[in-house]
């Protein structure tokens, strides 16, 4: 069996949102046929502290992916940001992926040490905790996606595909046909 990749996105949550940039990114990847083989999508997760972790963890239990990349919208950020950690109360849990090594190969991304105080952060923390407590071999990364527009779409796609390539190389996930 080939290694697997799970990508997630969130649904909208504010009345002024028409779409969620995290799901817009997945739409673009599908439309342009840029997803690696053995990629599974869990799209439009409810922006809810209880439902989001429950849905993603259930999917992890079912698929047992090698890598989980959760995407969330960062309305006020201008670049793609790779989160080093999720935190809850006084506990900080870090991804096991080498983000400095990954980011040095990107052009429109940066590392963030603050996944926020909302559902994005709690989802990341919950998945990292689940993987750690069960000694699950999967790796997890949370990526915040800025609002997508004509001026940044190419750069965001370039970097996100590069992240997928680097992860695929590390875990020998085959390229799409």
Domain boundaries in the chain? 5-171
* pLDDT tens per residue, range 128-175: 999 999 988 889 999 999 999 999 999 999 999 999 988 877 765 555
**Sheet containing 67-73: order of strands:** 39-45, 5-10, 67-73, 139-145, 80-83, 109-112
Structure tokens at 40: 């599974």
Topology annotation, domain 5-171? Aminopeptidase (3.40.630)
Distance CA 35, CA 147 (A): 20
Q: Which residue did the predictor score with more confidence, 97 or 175?
A: 97
The pLDDT tens digits for 78-88 are: 999 999 999 99
């Amino acid at each position: 069996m080939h290694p697997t990749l799970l990508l997630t996105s969130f649904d909208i949550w504010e009345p002024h949102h028409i779409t969620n940039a995290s799901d817009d990114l997945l739409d673009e990847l599908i439309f342009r046929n840029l997803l690696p083989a053995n990629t599974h999508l869990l799209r439009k997760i409810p922006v809810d502290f209880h439902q989001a972790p429950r849905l993603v963890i259930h999917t992890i239990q079912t698929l047992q992916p090698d890598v989980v990349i959760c995407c969330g919208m960062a309305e006020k950020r201008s670049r793609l940001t790779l989160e080093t950690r999720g935190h809850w109360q006084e506990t900080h849990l870090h991804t096991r992926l080498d983000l400095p090594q990954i980011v040095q190969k990107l052009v429109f991304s940066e590392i963030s040490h603050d996944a926020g105080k909302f559902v994005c952060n709690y989802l990341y923390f919950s998945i990292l905790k689940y993987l750690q407590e069960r000694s699950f071999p999967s790796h997890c990364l949370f990526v915040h996606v800025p609002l997508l527009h004509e001026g940044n779409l190419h750069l965001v796609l370039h970097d996100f595909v590069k992240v997928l390539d680097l992860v695929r190389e590390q875990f020998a996930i085959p390229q799409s046909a």
